[in-house]
Amino acid sequence: MVKVMVTGATGLLGRAVVAELEAQADFEVLACGYRRAVQGIHRLDLTHSSQVTAFIETHQPDVVIHCAAERRPDVSEQNPAAALALNADATRSLTLAASQSGAWLLYISTDYVFDGTSPPYHEHSETNPVNFYGDSKRQGEMIVTEAKQGFAILRLPILYGAVETLPESAVMILLKQLLDKNEQLVDDWAVRSPTSTADIACAIAKMIHLQITGECLSGHYHFSASGTMSKYQMLLAMGDLFGLSTEHLKPVTCPTDSAKRPHDCSLSCERLASLSIQSNVMFNSGIEKALQQSPAVMALLKK
């Protein structure tokens, strides 16, 4: 049995990773959350390095999948110290503890480490984040790289998946604008690649299998669904899928968010493709499944 510690196990991606690993007989999962940690999930404040060290010393995981982060650009901009404490400092504590115990660490990162001016971005492309969130995640990446322990970094684009509440996913929250029939301004400027958390979880499980069978995955990897869409295009697709009118939606072709966003961070995923790890989920089927697995959202759609 491979013992896998998953941080951020109560979050959007972490829940999908835990579900995928628990469905496979090879893994024993140590799911870690913080404020939402309930029965079966270890409550661990990653910003307390002594807690991190003690947890890893006690449980001795073989693998650490580090999903926990402050992932909201606007919140990160408003409270940079808190974003750094989780995205960089907690990553340092985990990296150190994993190095000392001999665990392999996979740090989940973001396409927002790039500036979005010259896509597609390769694994070796130069980073140049345009907002504090991207900068804090880049700092986390540098900590993992500088540890020189053969750890890996997985960069991801915008995520969707089964949610407890709409704001949990920057894609699912768009449904609010679909359901509110007053005129809605929607971003048609930023080019995104919405990617299913279940699809990513499958890829992560394959990466762990390769690592423990001797492949030695280290450095930067990218994973992304193949299509690109603006938020406006995502809403048109969802409207079509659920038979909802989209006439009240007005596309906006210039940046709309308060924290600066990159224009197009499309990721080229050659390194994982060379290991036969590729995205298998298209937006329409992925979003339909994610909604079916989100009872609170389905109830809203049926109203």
The binding track of 14-33 with respect to ligand NAP, each residue x by CB under 6 A or -, is x------------------x
- The residues, any chain, with a CB within 8 Å of residue 145's CB and separated by 6 or more, are 151, 153, 219
Buried b (16+ CB within 10 A) or exposed e, 101-134: eebbbbbbbbbbbbbbeebbbebebebebbbbbb
- CB of 52 vs ligand NAP, minimal distance in Å: 9
- CB of 38 vs ligand NAP, minimal distance in Å: 9
Q: Is 35 in the site for ligand NAP (CB under 6 A)?
A: yes
- Strand 63-66 vs strand 42-43: parallel, antiparallel, or unpaired? unpaired
Among 34, 151, 223, 283, binds ligand NAP (CB under 6 A): 34
Site for ligand NAP in 85-104 (CB under 6 A): 86
Q: Is 67 in the site for ligand NAP (CB under 6 A)?
A: yes
Q: Is 13 or 217 the residue whose CB approaches ligand NAP more closely?
A: 13
- CB of 185 vs ligand NAP, minimal distance in Å: 21
- CB of 55 vs ligand NAP, minimal distance in Å: 11
Query: Is the distance from CB of 69 to CB of 108 less than 8 angstroms?
Result: yes
Q: Is 106 or 236 the residue whose CB approaches ligand NAP more closely?
A: 106
Nearest to 4 by CA among 208, 198, 203: 208
Residue 167's SS3 state is helix
The answer, yes or no, to whether the previous bond of 295 is cis (omega within 30 of 0) is no
- CB of 213 vs ligand NAP, minimal distance in Å: 25
Q: Is 130 in the site for ligand NAP (CB under 6 A)?
A: no
- CB of 145 vs ligand NAP, minimal distance in Å: 16
Q: Is 10 or 184 the residue whose CB approaches ligand NAP more closely?
A: 10
| CA 20/CA 248 separation, integer angstroms | 38
Q: Is 37 in the site for ligand NAP (CB under 6 A)?
A: yes
- Tokens describing residue 173: 């929250």
Q: Is 147 or 170 the residue whose CB approaches ligand NAP more closely?
A: 170
Q: Is 11 in the site for ligand NAP (CB under 6 A)?
A: yes
Query: Is the distance from CB of 271 to CB of 123 less than 8 angstroms?
Result: yes
The burial class, CB within 10 Å (0-12 / 13-18 / 19+), for 182 is exposed
| CA 54/CA 97 separation, integer angstroms | 9
The binding track of 173-192 with respect to ligand NAP, each residue x by CB under 6 A or -, is --------------------
- CB of 268 vs ligand NAP, minimal distance in Å: 16
Query: Is the distance from CB of 197 to CB of 13 less than 8 angstroms?
Result: yes
Give the residue nearest to ligand NAP (CB): 11
- CB of 236 vs ligand NAP, minimal distance in Å: 20
Residue 125's SS3 state is coil
Q: Is 156 in the site for ligand NAP (CB under 6 A)?
A: yes
Q: Is 10 in the site for ligand NAP (CB under 6 A)?
A: yes
The DSSP 8-state label assigned to residue 43 in this structure reads E
- Strand 63-66 vs strand 104-110: parallel, antiparallel, or unpaired? parallel
Residue 266's SS3 state is coil
Residues that bind ligand NAP (CB under 6 A): 7-8, 10-14, 33-37, 44-47, 67-69, 71, 86, 108, 110, 137, 156-159, 168, 170
